[in-house]
Amino acid sequence: MVANKIFLSVSVGQCNAAFSNSGHCGAGKDDSKWTSPAESATDGSLELLRKRLSPLQFHVTQEAGTEKAFTGEYYAHFEPGIYSCIVCGASLFGSEAKYDSGSGWPSFHSTFKTKAKSSLNTVQSSAEHMQAQVEEHEGNVITRQDTSHGMRRKEVLCSQCGSHLGHVFEDGPPPTGLRYCINSAALMFNKQT
């Protein structure tokens, strides 16, 4: 428990330092093969997306940015419902998996298990802008290695549109031991009735 708190403090400190220096935690990807969705869009959809999303939502989802800790709409939000991708609407996380990690970002111990209709192969071919090997796929969430800022961590992306969501760490609570640390700006909430 103490080790988890120390790791969390260091992680949040590194992220806040990176945010202060670059404007977000995802800036300056060290992997030269990585291209953001914003850098690779050529069909005009990027401009439509830029008009539809707020500047922060666009920055987070299309440029792998990170919102400042404790500022996001959903970090202290605990209503029953489903958190979905702000870009494509894919269901990502259920409220039953949400918990307060103390990090300042919405945190979940597991993903929403229902997968949208497209398969991982379709996602990989339609989201070639990611140009990095997908490590894991669960529901509508995929992960891949992120070595930015001198750290090794797993980036979390929407499997349906390739949007950056946040990162996942192995310091979460049972039953999974995972902490999906997700930007509020990448999410929309669908209240359960």
Query: Active-site positions?
Result: 181
Q: Which two tokens stand for residue 22?
A: 């670059």
Task: For residues 35 and 14, give the distance between their C-alpha atoms in angstroms, rounded to a whole number.
Answer: 23
For residues 146 and 167, is the Cβ–Cβ distance under 8 A? yes
Q: Could you give the CA distance from residue 102 to residue 34 in angstroms, rounded to a whole number?
A: 30
How far is the C-alpha of 13 from the C-alpha of 151, rounded, in Å? 13
Q: Which of 140, 122, 148, 131 is nearest to 180 (CA)?
A: 140
Tokens of 139: 């529901």
Q: d(Cα 105, Cα 75) in Å, to the nearest integer?
A: 5
